[in-house]
């Protein structure tokens, strides 16, 4: 090497990946466990320590170029132009020990059982409302409460077939449930593609470690959809219903239909005749029995919901209510993952299962209630305030990071429409070492495990670890500058 340009420090002296890492006061998944280092972590740590930053940067650039070329992207459309963006990928994995995972797994299973029982109840006997556990108005006047589901029996009593649970860890490393995603949760394709990428990119890091596989998801999803098909159908035809190529999650729809080996259909590929659903094929109509729909409730059937929607299938809800086709997830599940209902989840779990919640929730104040509003207004600068209807990290206020003017503005919004908001204390999210422009630094991270429910609840041993790439940021959503990491659940 006889280059004339001046050498930078990293070029002349290879530095260990973790050498310059400033261990934060937060719980750090890798470097500050607030206790002894689990065996599963120490090997990864020593292997990482032996790598250098320049090499990692090179590999990361190659990974991102591959993701872009392979079209593992979400697409943003503006001015008739399609812009493909990748979810930024960080090559330092996030590790979950076997013990931590068994806790998460049981907690998620319990939560989903309760969600399904809750949904069945509020669309049938409404015992939980009559017993005053949760205010009836909160459920029955909820915009996501679906009148078409009242009294309708879904196959196997399953409403939430596919669920994503957002988990965070606090200062002490305790896992807390931040949010349920019981409608059409997305992101699982990144869990699997991140793993593929990781094994190509960092074989030296992964070699010989007891990392649990995430490959089973596709076949399991197919099996789940077969299990909940209408009774008496021997070989159910499963399809994935997508809004089409213009949807930002289209890549995931493609990915999942390929993994399951089922057609990826759009509304115009399906039609309803005699209360049954068919798809249009080169060999005539073919019956469809189970639909994994990645279309929100209001677009599914223009005859029942939004009459202007061109994405749906006229008559689909009629076929559904006649028991000739299964929709996964069921209609009207949005009421269960509502941010206001979330506050009642610990009570909902106790009510139906007579058990304490295995995974804790974040303490939540409901601004629709007088006490909650008063507390929120008095402590605005210390709280995170979220609008209940929004998702994707939009419209929220992080009190400690807000200016005086922002606080005042939000205070007004709260007073005008209190029932639209909940508030929670700011959780000091755990961090994990992440490759940043200035080296490896601590960044906040969350975890979204995915669970499938047919005859039983199965949790994919892994999950989407989203990283807030901006220094100090607590917002991990991809629409707000988040990236992702591979999540290694260790078998031992």
Partner 1 sequence: MMELAHFPLLSRYAECMMWLARYMERMENLARLLEVTETFVRDAEGQTAWDSIVSINSDESLFSRLHPAGSSADAVPFYLTEQENPGSMRSMAHAIRENARAVRPLVSTELWTHLNVFTRWLLELDGTSVKTSSLSGLCGRIRQECQTHYGIAEGTLYRDQAWLFYRLGKHLERCDQITRLVDIRYHMLLPQGEVPGSAIDITQLDSDPTGQHTERNCQYVLALYSHRYQSDNLAGAGIGNSSPLHQIVLNRTQ
The number of residues that bind partner 1 (CB under 8 A) is 22
318 binds partner 1 (CB under 8 A): no
Instruction: In angstroms, give the least distance from the CB of 415 to partner 1.
Output: 47
- Does position 264 bind partner 1 by CB under 8 A? yes
284 binds partner 1 (CB under 8 A): yes
Residue 250 engages partner 1 in binding (rule: CB under 8 A): yes
Q: Which is nearer to partner 1, 70 or 491 (CB)?
A: 70
Q: Which stretch binds partner 1 (CB under 8 A): 34-42, 68-76, 159-167, 411-419?
A: 68-76
Q: How far is the CB of 450 from partner 1 (least distance, A)?
A: 20
CB contact at 8 A, 186 and 248? no
In the complex, the smallest distance separating the C-beta of residue 256 from partner 1, rounded to whole angstroms, is: 9
**Minimum distance from residue 301 beta carbon to partner 1 (Å):** 20
Say if residues 308 and 93 touch (Cβ distance below 8 Å).
Answer: no
Residue of 282, 403, 412, 416 that binds partner 1 (CB under 8 A) = 282
Question: Which is closer to partner 1, CB of 270 or CB of 427?
Answer: 270
Residue whose structure tokens are 């007004």: 412
Mark residue 75 as left, alpha or beta (left: phi above 0; alpha: psi -120 to 50; beta: remaining): beta
Q: Is 70 an interacting residue with respect to partner 1 (CB under 8 A)?
A: yes
Question: Using the rule CB under 8 A, is 265 a contact of partner 1?
Answer: yes
Task: Report the residue number, 52 or 269, with the smaller CB distance to partner 1.
Answer: 269
Q: Which residue has the tokens 């210390």?
A: 382
Is residue 71 near partner 1 by the rule CB under 8 A? yes
Distance (Å, rounded) from C-alpha 256 to C-alpha 373?
Answer: 43
Binding of partner 1 by 268 (CB under 8 A) = yes
Based on C-alpha coordinates, what's the Rg of the chain? Answer: 24
CA–CA distance, 303 with 239 (Å, rounded to integer): 21
Site string for partner 1, 295-314 (x = CB under 8 A): --------------------
Minimum CB separation from partner 1 for residue 270, in Å? 10
Closest CA to 355 of 113, 182, 181, 177: 113
Assess 249 for contact with partner 1 (CB under 8 A). no
Cα dist from 367 to 162, 327, 378, 386, 417, whole Å: 30, 34, 12, 10, 9
* Segment contacting partner 1 by CB under 8 A, of 45-53, 140-148, 279-287, 399-407: 279-287
Cis amide linkage into residue 329, ω under 30° from 0: yes
Length of the chain: 492
The least distance separating partner 1 from the CB of residue 226, rounded to whole angstroms, comes to: 18
Q: Does 337 bind partner 1 (CB under 8 A)?
A: no
Smallest separation, CB 276 to partner 1 (Å): 17
- Residue 263 makes contact with partner 1 by CB under 8 A: yes
Q: How far is the CB of 492 from partner 1 (least distance, A)?
A: 33
Dist. CA 314–CA 296, nearest whole Å: 15
For tokens 């979400």, name the residue.
74
DSSP state of 153: P
Rounded Cα–Cα distance for residues 123 and 142 (Å): 13
CB contact at 8 A, 175 and 357: no
Residues numbered 443-482 forming contacts with partner 1, rule: CB under 8 A = none
Q: Residue from 281, 415, 456, 479 that binds partner 1 (CB under 8 A)?
A: 281
Q: Cα–chain-centroid distance for residue 30?
A: 23
Helical pair 188-201 and 217-227, crossing angle rounded to 10 deg: 160
Question: Candidates 135-143, 253-261, 453-461, 481-489 — which segment interacts with partner 1 by CB under 8 A?
Answer: 253-261
Closest residue by Cα to residue 111 from 406, 330, 360? 360
**Minimum distance from residue 62 beta carbon to partner 1 (Å):** 15
In sequence order, which residues have a C-beta less than 8 Å from that of residue 440 and are 6 or more positions away? 17, 18, 20, 21, 53, 56, 92, 433, 434
Minimum distance from CB of 150 to partner 1 (Å)?
A: 34
* 49-57, 251-259, 349-357, 436-444 -> range binding partner 1 (CB under 8 A): 251-259
| Chain position carrying tokens 């789940």 | 224
Q: Which region, judged by CB under 8 A, interacts with partner 1, from 198-206, 228-236, 278-286, 389-397?
A: 278-286
- The reply to whether 258 sits near partner 1 by the rule CB under 8 A is yes
Nearer to partner 1, 246 or 394 (CB): 246
Closest CA to 488 of 3, 133, 48, 35: 48
Report d(CA 422, CA 425) in Å as an integer.
Answer: 11
Q: What are phi and psi of 432, to 5 degrees?
A: -150, 145
Q: Does 378 bind partner 1 (CB under 8 A)?
A: no
Structure tokens at 52: 């250098």
Strand partners, 175: 169
Q: Decide: is 199 part of the binding site for partner 1 (CB under 8 A).
A: no
| Position 193 contacts partner 1 (CB under 8 A) | no
Task: Name the residues that contact partner 1, by CB under 8 A.
Answer: 69-71, 84, 245, 250, 254, 257-258, 263-266, 268-269, 279-284, 286
């Amino acid at each position: 090497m006889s280059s004339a340009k001046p050498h930078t420090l990293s070029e002349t002296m290879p530095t260990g990946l973790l050498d310059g890492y400033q261990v934060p006061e937060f719980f750090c998944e890798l470097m500050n466990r607030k206790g002894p280092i689990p065996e599963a972590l120490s090997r990864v740590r020593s292997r990482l320590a032996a790598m250098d930053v320049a090499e990692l940067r090179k590999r990361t650039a190659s990974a991102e170029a591959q993701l872009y070329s392979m079209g593992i992207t979400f697409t943003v459309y503006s001015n008739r132009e399609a812009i493909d963006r990748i979810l930024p990928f960080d090559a330092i994995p996030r590790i979950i020990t076997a013990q931590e995972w068994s806790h998460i797994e049981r907690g998620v299973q319990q939560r989903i059982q309760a969600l399904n029982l809750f949904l069945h109840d509020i669309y049938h006997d409404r015992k939980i409302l009559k017993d005053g556990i949760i205010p009836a108005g909160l459920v029955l006047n909820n915009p996501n409460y679906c009148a078409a589901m009242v009294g309708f029996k879904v196959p196997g009593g399953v409403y939430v077939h596919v669920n994503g649970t957002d988990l965070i860890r606090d200062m002490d490393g305790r896992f807390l449930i931040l949010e349920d995603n019981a409608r059409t949760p997305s992101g699982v394709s990144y869990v699997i593609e991140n793993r593929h990428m990781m094994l190509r990119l960092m074989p030296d890091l992964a070699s010989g470690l007891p990392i649990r596989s995430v490959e089973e998801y596709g076949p399991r999803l197919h099996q789940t959809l077969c299990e909940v098909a209408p009774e008496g159908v021997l070989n159910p035809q499963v399809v994935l219903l997508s809004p089409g190529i213009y949807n930002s999650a289209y890549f995931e729809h493609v990915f999942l239909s390929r993994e399951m080996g089922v057609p990826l259909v759009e509304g115009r590929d399906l039609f309803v005749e005699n209360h049954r659903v068919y798809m249009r094929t080169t060999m005539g109509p073919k019956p469809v029995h189970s639909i994994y729909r990645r279309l929100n409730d209001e677009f599914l059937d223009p005859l029942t919901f939004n009459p202007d929607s061109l994405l749906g299938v006229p008559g689909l809800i009629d076929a559904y209510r006649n028991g000739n086709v299964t929709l996964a997830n069921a209609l009207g599940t949005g009421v269960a993952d509502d941010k206001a209902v979330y506050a009642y989840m610990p009570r909902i779990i106790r009510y139906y299962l007579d058990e304490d919640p295995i995974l804790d929730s974040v303490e939540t104040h409901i601004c629709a209630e007088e006490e909650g509003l008063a507390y929120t207004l008095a402590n605005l600068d210390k709280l995170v305030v979220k609008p209940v209807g929004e998702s994707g990290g939009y419209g929220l206020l992080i009190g400690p990071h807000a200016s005086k003017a922002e606080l005042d503005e939000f205070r007004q919004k709260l007073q005008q429409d209190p029932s639209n908001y909940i508030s929670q204390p700011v959780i000091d999210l755990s961090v994990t070492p992440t490759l940043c422009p200035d080296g490896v630094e601590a960044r906040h991270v969350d975890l979204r495990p995915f669970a499938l429910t047919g005859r039983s609840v199965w949790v994919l041993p892994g999950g989407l670890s989203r990283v807030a790439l901006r220094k100090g940021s607590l917002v991990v959503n991809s629409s707000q500058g988040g990236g992702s990491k591979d999540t290694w659940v260790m078998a031992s």
